[in-house]
């Protein structure tokens, strides 16, 4: 994401706008999803909810960093020291941009979290097929114990074949989705972690250059300090930082995927693997059909909705 420091070489120029606007509000509603979720998806539901809390913390950290940057600039202006005033203001610009990277990181974490939801939803959809298979199995066992000669046993056995076929497809979909989406989610998250770190390093290195323009030579009482003459050089530091951020390119090694054959971090945020599981049913072995008896050969296994 290109750096926008050139829109304001002083953090003071937009202070009133920030005070009037306030931080971005994160929409959040507490739910009982982690409790109400099917047993199979309950753990991942809790993880996704915890990730949401972490995202909010990163957003809050970004807002706090921007607030601190503004306070640093305000304090420097109040010192009536030209060098301290100018450098503190430009440091504030750099620190605010460092805080902005936290917000960008939080957005990437939200993208990663959204991918994990696909696994959770698939887990929730597989749970009924497991329960149906177990229910029919239990009914057959109970009926064989009470009435071994019951004609309903044959009907239930045919129903069990269909239930097992449906569950076979659902389990294959779950396995494929879990592996694909797990790789995709953490590819996004870890690539974003590297991007955030590298960009903050760029900003921090240039911000440290600003400190060299403050003459901290001891002053003898009664003497006056030399005038501040580094305003142009300090402005150049901001421009150098902006240029370096614009030139930044990701160098992470790709995480390959057999479903799409490329890393999500290379494809960009829009290149999601959401449709990577569309062909999962076709990849399932024909074992489901082999399980069918002649009487129920026409009963096809329906995939669990995704």
pLDDT per residue, tens digit, the chain (306 aa), is 445 554 466 766 655 555 555 445 555 444 544 445 567 778 999 999 999 999 999 999 999 999 999 999 999 999 989 999 999 999 999 999 999 999 999 999 999 999 999 999 988 888 777 777 888 788 778 877 888 877 787 777 887 788 788 888 888 888 999 999 999 999 999 999 999 999 999 999 999 999 999 999 898 888 888 899 999 999 999 999 999 999 999 989 988 888 766 565 555 443 333 233 333 333 333 333 433 333 433 333 344 333
Query: What domain range is 201 assigned to?
Result: 33-216+231-253+261-296
Residue 12 belongs to a domain: no
**126 CB contacts (<8 Å, ≥6 apart)?**
40, 167, 170, 171, 173, 174, 304
**295 CB contacts (<8 Å, ≥6 apart)?**
158
Please give the tally of structural domains in the chain. Answer: 1
Residue 28 belongs to a domain: no
Residue 55 belongs to a domain: yes
Residue 15 belongs to a domain: no
Q: How far apart are CA 201 and CA 178, in angstroms?
A: 34
Does the pTM surpass 0.85? The reply is: no
Residue 271 belongs to a domain: yes
Q: How far apart are CA 197 and CA 129, in angstroms?
A: 44
CATH assignment of the domain containing 74? 1.20.1270.60
Q: How far apart are CA 304 and CA 122, in angstroms?
A: 8
Residue 102 belongs to a domain: yes
Residue 270 belongs to a domain: yes
Burial (CB count <10 Å: 0-12, 13-18, 19+), residue 170: buried
């Amino acid at each position: 994401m290109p750096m926008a420091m050139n829109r304001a070489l002083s953090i003071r120029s937009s202070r009133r706008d920030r005070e009037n606007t306030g931080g971005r509000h994160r929409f959040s509603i507490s739910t009982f999803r982690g409790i109400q979720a099917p047993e199979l998806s309950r753990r991942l539901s809790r993880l996704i909810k915890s990730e949401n809390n972490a995202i909010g913390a990163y957003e809050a950290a970004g807002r706090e960093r921007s607030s601190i940057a503004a306070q640093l600039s305000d304090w420097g202006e109040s010192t009536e020291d030209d060098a301290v005033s100018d450098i503190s203001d430009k440091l504030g610009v750099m620190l605010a941009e460092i805080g902005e990277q936290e917000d960008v990181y939080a957005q990437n974490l939200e993208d990663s979290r959204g991918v994990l939801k696909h696994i959770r939803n698939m887990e929730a959809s597989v749970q009924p097929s497991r329960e149906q298979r177990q229910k029919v199995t239990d009914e057959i066992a109970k009926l064989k114990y009470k009435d071994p000669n019951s004609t309903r046993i044959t009907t239930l056995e045919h129903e069990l074949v269909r239930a097992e076929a449906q569950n076979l497809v659902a389990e294959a979909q779950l396995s494929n989705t879990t592996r694909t989406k797990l790789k995709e989610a953490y590819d996004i998250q870890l690539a974003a972690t590297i991007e955030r770190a590298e960009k903050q390093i760029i900003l921090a290195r240039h911000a440290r250059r600003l400190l060299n323009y403050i003459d901290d030579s001891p002053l003898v009482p009664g003497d006056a300090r030399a005038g501040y003459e580094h305003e142009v050089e300090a402005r150049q530091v901001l421009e150098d930082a902006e240029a370096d951020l614009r030139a930044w390119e990701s160098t992470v090694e790709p995480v390959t995927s057999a479903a799409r054959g490329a890393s999500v971090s290379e494809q960009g945020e829009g290149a999601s693997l959401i449709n990577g599981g569309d062909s999962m049913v076709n990849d399932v072995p024909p074992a489901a059909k082999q399980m069918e008896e002649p009487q129920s050969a026409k009963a096809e296994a329906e995939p669990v909705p995704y």
